[in-house]
Amino acid sequence: MGIEENKKIGLKLMKAVNEQDMGSLDELVIPEYVNHQLKVGSREDLKQILRRQYTGFPDVHRTVEDIIADVETVWIKVKITGTHTGEYRGVAPTGKKYVMAAVPHYRIDGGKVVEGWSVFNPLDLFKQLGVIIYKGFPDEVKAPI
């Protein structure tokens, strides 16, 4: 596939994820899809992870901020936003909004997404939800006077 075709596939994938369109995922992603960071070993595993995210954050949305491709890969810089209105990974709804940066990276073969990697900070999400309290590193936290 060419560079522009791979960008189009990446954008179609983001659109399908934003629209919670599992049928389009079937068309874009091979059944044996693997994502190395998410520990996903199939397209069905990917769908399960997305459904869990949609349950916790029904309004989750990925805004594409940049996209770079070559003849077999596509990198997509996204801003992910959502509101925690459902249970997510054992955490009861908080009603809090979050914003998180991520860079998913996909290998494309024959016009299909076959493999993926994800660069993101899940601890930041849980910090924004108030599950993790971060006061700073010891050298950043000032002792009371």
CATH number at residue 63: 3.10.450.50
| 15: three-class secondary structure by DSSP | helix
The 10s digit of each residue's pLDDT in 9-63 is 999 999 999 999 999 999 999 999 999 988 889 999 999 999 999 999 999 999 9
- Lowest average pLDDT, out of 33-47, 60-74, 102-116, 122-136, goes to 122-136
Q: Is residue 67 part of a domain?
A: yes
Q: Is residue 139 part of a domain?
A: no
| 18: three-class secondary structure by DSSP | helix
pTM: 0.89
Amino acid found at 32: E
- Average pLDDT rounded to a whole number, residues 115-126: 94
- How far apart, in whole angstroms, are the C-alpha atoms of residue 63 and residue 18? 9
Alpha helices in 19-136 (DSSP H): 22-28, 43-56, 122-128
CA distances from 115 to 14, 35, 40, 91, 121 (A): 15, 6, 10, 29, 20
Domain count, the chain: 1
Quote the percentage of the chain above a pLDDT of 70.
96
Q: Is residue 43 part of a domain?
A: yes
Phi, psi of 58 (to 5 degrees): -55, -25
Cβ–Cβ < 8 Å for 94, 61: no
The 10s digit of each residue's pLDDT in 75-108 is 999 999 999 999 999 999 999 999 999 999 999 9
Q: Is residue 144 part of a domain?
A: no
User: For position 90, what pLDDT does the model report?
Assistant: 93
Reference 15, options 51, 62, 53, 54; nearest CA is 62
Reference 69, options 16, 14, 107, 19; nearest CA is 107
Q: Is residue 136 part of a domain?
A: no
Residue 111: which domain range?
A: 3-128
Q: Is residue 118 part of a domain?
A: yes
Cβ–Cβ < 8 Å for 103, 77: yes
Q: Is residue 141 part of a domain?
A: no
Confidence of residue 143 (pLDDT cuts 50, 70, 90): low
Where residue 34 falls (left for φ over 0; alpha for ψ -120 to 50; beta otherwise) is beta
What are the tokens at 11?
């954008």
